[in-house]
């Protein structure tokens, strides 16, 4: 089980390929607030709902100074299909080795359908402009999560 992050911790740095195979780094977004969310698998019902919620809120999030990055263990080719199918307008990043997932505490033991399994823990973080964790949320719900996050951040 990977260790969980807390508010005030330094956000683990990463560089991962996006759906087109281009590297995206957290460091390249320094100075901005970045919402980094981890999801189990592209093209599944819950992950699609969550991605579409972020997509639909992206303009207002960006207007209030937030960038959004979605990270899953999926390969870039699957992320590209997901992006095209659902019109996702923010970077989807590939972490097949689960190194970044583990560094953020978003991979480990969880309960699924009443059984303990090892996998991606649906989690969301807000990294502030100085590279520190401003919000750390684990075991979030796919549906309604973006609205809750907006309320937690005091965004209209």
pLDDT value of position 57: 94
What is the value of pTM for the model shown?
Answer: 0.94
Residue 2 has pLDDT above 70, yes or no: no
What domains can you pick out in the chain, each with its CATH number?
15-149 (3.40.30.10)
Q: Is 47 a catalytic residue?
A: yes
pLDDT value of position 112: 75
- pLDDT tens across 6-53, in order? 999 999 999 999 999 999 999 999 999 999 999 999 999 989 999 999
Choice among 47, 133, 142, 146 that is catalytic:
47
Which of 114, 128, 154 is CA-nearest to residue 5? Answer: 128
Sign of CA dihedral 68, 87, 58, 153: negative
């Amino acid at each position: 089980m990977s260790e969980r992050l807390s508010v005030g911790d330094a956000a683990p740095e990463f560089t991962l390929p996006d759906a087109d195979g281009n590297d995206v780094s957290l460091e390249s977004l320094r100075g901005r607030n970045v919402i980094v969310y981890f999801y189990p698998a592209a093209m599944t019902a819950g992950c699609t709902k969550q991605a579409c919620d972020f997509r639909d809120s992206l303009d207002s999030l960006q207007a209030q100074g937030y960038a959004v990055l979605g990270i899953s263990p999926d390969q870039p080719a699957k992320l590209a299909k997901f992006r095209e199918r659902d019109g996702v307008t923010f970077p989807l990043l590939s972490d097949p080795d689960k190194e970044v997932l583990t560094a953020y505490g978003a991979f480990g033991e969880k309960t699924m359908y009443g059984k303990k399994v090892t996998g991606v823990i649906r989690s969301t973080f807000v990294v502030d402009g100085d590279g520190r964790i401003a919000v750390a949320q684990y075991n979030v719900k796919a549906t309604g999560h973006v609205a809750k996050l907006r309320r937690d951040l005091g965004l209209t």
